[in-house]
Amino acid sequence: MTRTYRHLFGPVPSRRFGRSLGIDQTPFKTCSYDCIFCQLGRTTRHTLQRENFIEVGEVIAEIDHWLKNDGKANQITLAGSGEPTLHAGFGEIVAHLKARTNIPVAILTNGSTLHLPEVRSAAAQADIVKISLSAWDQKSLEKVNRPAPGCTFEQMIHGEIQFRQEFKGQLWLEVFLIDGINAEVEEVQKIAAMSRQIKPDRIQLNTCVRPPAEEFAKAVGEARLRELAGVFKPAAEVIAVYQARDTSEIKASEEAILEMLRRRPCTAGQIAEAFGMHLNEVAKFIGMLMGSSKIQAVHRDQDVYYFSETSSRSETHGA
């Protein structure tokens, strides 16, 4: 019998990490940012306070069970539905992984807590740390990332620079560009100047290829994004997926979700509940289905509803 995990999800296909097992140790949308582009929607618990949201032992028990009964992944990633470094014990989880498996460990963080020495020390155990930078000063940070009170651009950038100096692994920098917000050449040049201070091993450009938290957050076109990649030195790589990939391994789940959306438009949360999936898994499938134009999205109040080509847009407004 397949075990259902509370804190592990996947492995899911990842454009950056291949077959990636996710670890989620924060409650849904507990984050230090409320990014306008977030595919999981608006932040519901906006905080800089680090806590033991869940028992580390619970996560470790699930990890040990997965390693014994499956254990196949290209990467294990601390990510999920919030900012992973807000969990006060995330370093214990990383340490346990490094002791139990040779699968590389990655942390996806927005970088807002790296000014804290204890966070830098804990994160430095990982093989890859992906940090974010989509602003160049306090005003742009507030416009794009909407940080929690007390989180400043100066504090964030200093923490990322300090972490680079201490971290011996691979440091990746993700720059999220939004049309009309931070994607003019002059703005990208300012972000690129900041990136040169951080000195990451790789720089990756992304945009809103999945429905964002705010309807006004619009994607930058692929050709334009590739032009802007040259602003960075060395040139950034474009990781935004504009077309779905042919991944036969997940065909069954794709078809099941598509069949559900043919019957009735649903939110990502409703899909997750129906299939017992993690929201990040659902987001992957939604991205692929939208990339192949099999489904579309529409905003209603504060929710995003997805519907198939064969379902009526009017059904969404009555959902």
pLDDT digits (tens, 9 = 90+) for 189-198: 999 999 999 9
72 compared with 147, residue with greater pLDDT: 147
Distance, CA of 152 to CA of 236 (rounded, Å): 25
3-state SS track over the chain = CCCCCCCEEEEEEECCCEEEEEECCCCCCEECCCCCCCCCCCCCEECCCCECCCCHHHHHHHHHHHHHHCCCCCEEEECCCCCHHHECCHHHHHHHHHHHCCCCEEEECCCCCCCCHHHHHHHCCCCEEEEECCCCCHHHHHHHCCCCCCCCHHHHHHHHHHHHHHCCCEEEEEEECCECCCCCHHHHHHHHHHHHHHCCCEEEEECCCCCCCCCCCECCCHHHHHHHHCCCCCCCEECCCCCCCCCHHHHHHHHHHHHHHHHCCECHHHHHHHHCCCHHHHHHHHHHHHHCCCEEEEEECCEEEEEECCCCHHHHHCC
Buried b or exposed e, range 19-31, using 16+ CB within 10 angstroms: ebbbbbbbbbbbb
pLDDT greater than 90 at residue 3: no
Query: Rounded to 10 degrees, what is the CA torsion of 226, 84, 39, 182?
Result: -40
Beta bridge partners of 289: none
User: For position 312, what pLDDT does the model report?
Assistant: 40
User: For position 315, what pLDDT does the model report?
Assistant: 40
How crowded is the C-beta side of 274, counted as CA atoms within 13 Å? 16
Q: pTM (2 decimals)?
A: 0.81
- pLDDT band, residue 263 (cuts 50/70/90): low
User: For position 180, what pLDDT does the model report?
Assistant: 96
pLDDT greater than 90 at residue 9: no
The lowest-confidence range among 24-33, 88-97, 140-149, 223-232 is 24-33
User: For position 301, what pLDDT does the model report?
Assistant: 65
Is the distance from CB of 80 to CB of 24 less than 8 angstroms? Answer: yes
| Per-residue pLDDT tens digits for 205-261 | 999 887 788 989 999 999 999 999 999 988 999 998 765 444 444 455 787 788 778
Domain boundaries, given as residue ranges, for the chain: 8-238, 248-317
How crowded is the C-beta side of 79, counted as CA atoms within 13 Å? 24
Phi, psi for 51 (deg, rounded to 5): -140, 165
Fold of the 248-317 domain: Arc Repressor Mutant, subunit A (1.10.10)
Instruction: Average the pLDDT over 72-93 and give the result.
Output: 93
- pLDDT band, residue 2 (cuts 50/70/90): low
| Per-residue pLDDT tens digits for 28-59 | 889 999 999 998 888 989 999 999 999 999 99
CB-count exposure of residue 251 (10 Å: 0-12, 13-18, 19+):
exposed
Distance, CA of 40 to CA of 288 (rounded, Å): 16
pLDDT greater than 50 at residue 317: no
Instruction: Average the pLDDT over 285-310 and give the result.
Output: 79
- pLDDT band, residue 269 (cuts 50/70/90): confident
The residue written with tokens 């060395």 in the block is 234
Instruction: Average the pLDDT over 298-304 and give the result.
Output: 73
306 compared with 116, residue with greater pLDDT: 116
Q: Tell me what percent of the residues of the chain surpass a pLDDT of 90.
A: 59
Instruction: Indicate if the alpha-carbon torsion angle 292, 281, 98, 236 is positive or negative.
Output: positive
Q: Tell me what percent of the residues of the chain surpass a pLDDT of 70.
A: 89
Instruction: Average the pLDDT over 150-170 and give the result.
Output: 97
The residue written with tokens 């290829």 in the block is 209
- pLDDT band, residue 290 (cuts 50/70/90): confident
Distance, CA of 145 to CA of 110 (rounded, Å): 9
Assign domain 8-238 to a CATH class: alpha beta
147 compared with 13, residue with greater pLDDT: 147
The lowest-confidence range among 88-97, 144-153, 274-283 is 274-283
